[in-house]
Amino acid sequence: MKSILISFLGILLTAPAVLAQTQLSTDDFQKKLNASSEAQLLDVRTPAEYGQGHLEKSKNIDYKNPAFREQIDKLDKNKPVFVYCLSGGRSSAAAKVLHEKGFTNVYEMQGGYMKWTSSGKLIDAPAGASDENKGMTSVDFKKLINSDKLVMVDFYAPWCAPCIKMLPTVHKLAQEYKAQARIETIHYDQNKALAKELGIDEIPAFLFYKKGKLVLRKNGLMEEADFKKLIEENL
């Protein structure tokens, strides 16, 4: 019995530590943040992104900055850290680094700033920030989708790996189906106001319209065959 107990204790001591990071929806993230008096709120986007708007009382430490690891060492490891980025990629990576460095409670926002703003939650933004880079107006967008042809709109961004991977396919299909459908790409970063109006909180986002009406919305990575199937079904 004694040898069994010793073996069991040995397993416990050598077992990997349980990850202290927790992914939360925007609503749960907000509730947990508001309930914590010692919260350290971390925005790991670039300073330029942060300057356009951010969660109130957040601290900006750019995950892509080589000094990121050094800067987070200045935070209190015994207090909870709440971390977010634009859509979740950088915050997930940052949360792992925080855990590796010994932070005991790390909470990551799923969907990031895109999900937060698209749900209408409050942000801290400089005056006029919402007026910058408005891009396409809703009137222009309505003109785009008001066509007798099927219209497929691809919301993409250069920092979105799946978006960039699919762009050649999207451009190819635009030529292949130009007699039957209109396929357009819209840069998310340059059209944030329009994206918010359309309820886009995740990219890549593909919106299919017929005579001005939305008939289908898809997100995520798709192969050429998937695109063709959806186009053919909705022509």
Give the model confidence (pLDDT) of 1-19 as tens digits: 555 444 444 443 443 444 4
Cis peptide bond N-terminal to 204, omega within 30:
yes
Residue 163 bears catalytic tag: yes
Given the residues 44, 94, 153, 160, select the one marked as catalytic.
Answer: 160
Region of 192 (left: φ > 0; alpha: ψ -120 to 50; beta: rest) is alpha
Contact between residue 205 and residue 197 where contact means Cβ atoms under 8 Å apart: no
| Annotated catalytic residue within 163, 173, 222, 230 | 163
Portions of the chain given CATH number 3.40.250.10: 15-125
Q: Report whether pLDDT(79) > 60.
A: yes
CB neighbourhood size of 124 (10 A): 12
- pLDDT per residue over 34-69, tens digit each? 999 999 999 999 998 888 889 999 999 999 999 999
CATH 3.40.30.10 placement within the chain: 138-234
Averaged pLDDT of the chain: 86
- Mean pLDDT within 69-82: 95
pLDDT digits (tens, 9 = 90+) for 100-134: 999 989 999 998 988 888 777 778 866 555 444 56
CATH code, residues 15-125: 3.40.250.10
Please state, as a whole number, how many other Cβ atoms lie within 10 Å of the Cβ of residue 34: 9
Is CATH 3.40.50.720 the right assignment for the domain spanning 138-234? no
85 is catalytic: no
Q: What pLDDT sits at residue 19?
A: 46
3-state secondary structure 74-121: CCCCCCCEEEECCCCHHHHHHHHHHHHCCCCCEEEECCHHHHHHHCCC
Supply the pTM of this predicted model: 0.66
Size of the chain, expressed as the number of residues it contains: 235
> Shortest CA distance to 52 belongs to which of 158, 125, 135, 118?
125
